[in-house]
Amino acid sequence: MSEAFLINFTPQETRVALIENGAVQELHVEREHSRGFVGNVYLGKVVRVLPGMQSAFIDIGLERTAFLHVADIWLDRTAGEQTRPIEKILHEGQSLVVQVLKDPIGTKGARLSTQISIAGRMLVYLPQEKHIGISQRIESEEGRNALRERLQRLIPAEEAGGYIVRTIAAKASDEELGADITYLRKLWSEIKSRSVGAFPPRALYHDLTLAQRVLRDLVTPETERIIIDSRENFQKLNAFATEYMTQVTALLEHYSGERTLFDLHGVEDEIQKALSRRVDLKSGGYLIVDQTEALTTIDVNTGGFVGARTFDDTVFKTNLEAAQAIARQLRLRNLGGIILIDFIDMENEEHRSQVLGELNKALARDHTKVSVGGFTGLGLVEMTRKRTRESLAHILCEACPTCGGRGEIKTARTVAYEVLRDLVREARQFNAREFRILAAPTVIDLFLDEEAQALAMLSDFVGKPISLHAESSYNPEQFDIVLL
């Protein structure tokens, strides 16, 4: 399966699209004013310890205090150190070197760990550890042992710290591994020197930019092209790759065409589709994707698809197609947390098994960790996808100012009846000469037509005249009652 990365630069943001076999599979957006914090290392200060939650709030200089759970506090197991209550480990005012595990999401602060890990192209350096771990994707025991032995020979004898060998290192030369070791040791040395004598909160290390992380983390042997639409940034990335990952330099291309890079490859259209609740399937079926604070639900519908011989076959074929589309939408929208999928009901157990297998197969290429359960008693598929950053919708959109994120607004009649109730309350509290209603044109039109009699009856009841004024700038739910 061929893949390519398209990298679009503007002064305000960087956007990256992963294309597999001509279709957009992933979208990454990083804005200059709100760059992510995952991987950053800070000297923080303990603000509050919460024994009941076995957690602490740490000030690392961000808008909201960050969150540290006792499970994310590093322990030296080789020295026999045992897990202790957090109030025995931390105290208010204490300085602490921490690393961000998860960006702030919604109202939640960043998630922290005291176990530092610095990622390179081939290796991840763990300065507090002493062991060498091998990626689980390297399945051959013989290959794992060989890699461990090679790395042990390359690590300087006097060096402390451990390493995790990434999957891409399976085919790396000794020179490439050695270069990664040197780079990571130098980086950790710089972080330590910045922390000496510093006062918290202070940033000690910022992770790479989005474009640099793509070269480091996302490029695979199947990547054929990395197309960049900015000459200046092409030169920067080329220099970065030449120094740290020479095998990537041959993949870099500068695009200078008249059409924008994302327009040329249809990425702009895919972004618009990824912000919609409805996802149309080629067969005529469709998905409805609803993202909430607690979880994401995906409903599968047959729509206009009647192509199969029987209803069972129609349902089966729609669900198979939906399984592939769902896996793509999860990556495209970067949906994380708990996900519930409501496939169309299938009586045939074999059909259920095949749909579940198709979903797992489609999710196998996801760079993010996923866990899929079977069908529940209610016929739903439960799954989780690791959430490390905001979803695409949360980056590009905000709650509707009219409905407040409900996805619905009150009808003009509902608002009109609220106005009438408020008028009664106002009349009981204030002895005004006249009441004036300011509301959206749709509400005022209702008072002039269908609810004119109700308004006249209320005017007689309160004994005061009531005038109307349409405010085109008001949203459909907004109104004011002015006392004259």
DSSP assignment of 131-185: -EEE-TT---HHHHHHHHHHHHHHS-TT---EEEE-GGGGG--HHHHHHHHHHHH
DSSP sequence for 326-363: HHHHHHHHT--EEEEEEPPP---HHHHHHHHHHHHHHH
pLDDT > 80? residue 1: no
Q: Report the predicted TM-score, pTM, of the whole model to 2 decimal places.
A: 0.73
Q: Percent of the chain having pLDDT more than 70?
A: 98
The pLDDT value recorded for residue 307 is 60
Residue keyed to tokens 């474009």 = 211
Domains of the chain: 3-34+210-268 (3.30.420.60), 41-205 (2.40.50.140), 275-396 (3.40.630), 412-483 (3.40.1260.20)
pLDDT of residue 306: 61
For residue 334, the one-letter residue type is: N
Give pLDDT, residue 331. 93
Average pLDDT over residues 219-248: 89
According to the model, what pLDDT value does residue 77 have?
72
- Stretch 138-142: mean pLDDT, rounded? 77
Alpha helices, DSSP H only, in 10-160? 86-89, 141-154
pLDDT digits (tens, 9 = 90+) for 429-479: 988 899 999 999 999 999 999 999 999 999 999 999 999 999 999 999 999
Confidence of residue 173 (pLDDT cuts 50, 70, 90): confident
Output the pLDDT for position 144. 83
| CA dihedral sign of residues 196, 201, 206, 207 | positive
Percent of the chain with pLDDT over 90: 56
* pLDDT recorded at residue 22: 87
Those residues whose C-beta lies under 8 Å from the C-beta of residue 176, and which sit 6 or more positions away, are 121, 122, 169, 246, 247
- Label residue 203 by pLDDT band (50, 70, 90): very high
Query: In this model, does residue 80 exceed pLDDT 80?
Result: no
Q: What is the pLDDT of residues 317-341, one digit of tens each?
A: 999 999 999 999 999 999 999 999 9
How high is the pLDDT of residue 78?
65
Residue 49: what pLDDT? 95
- Residue 152: count of CB within 10 angstroms of its CB: 11
User: In the numeric block, which tokens belong to residue 88?
Assistant: 């025995």
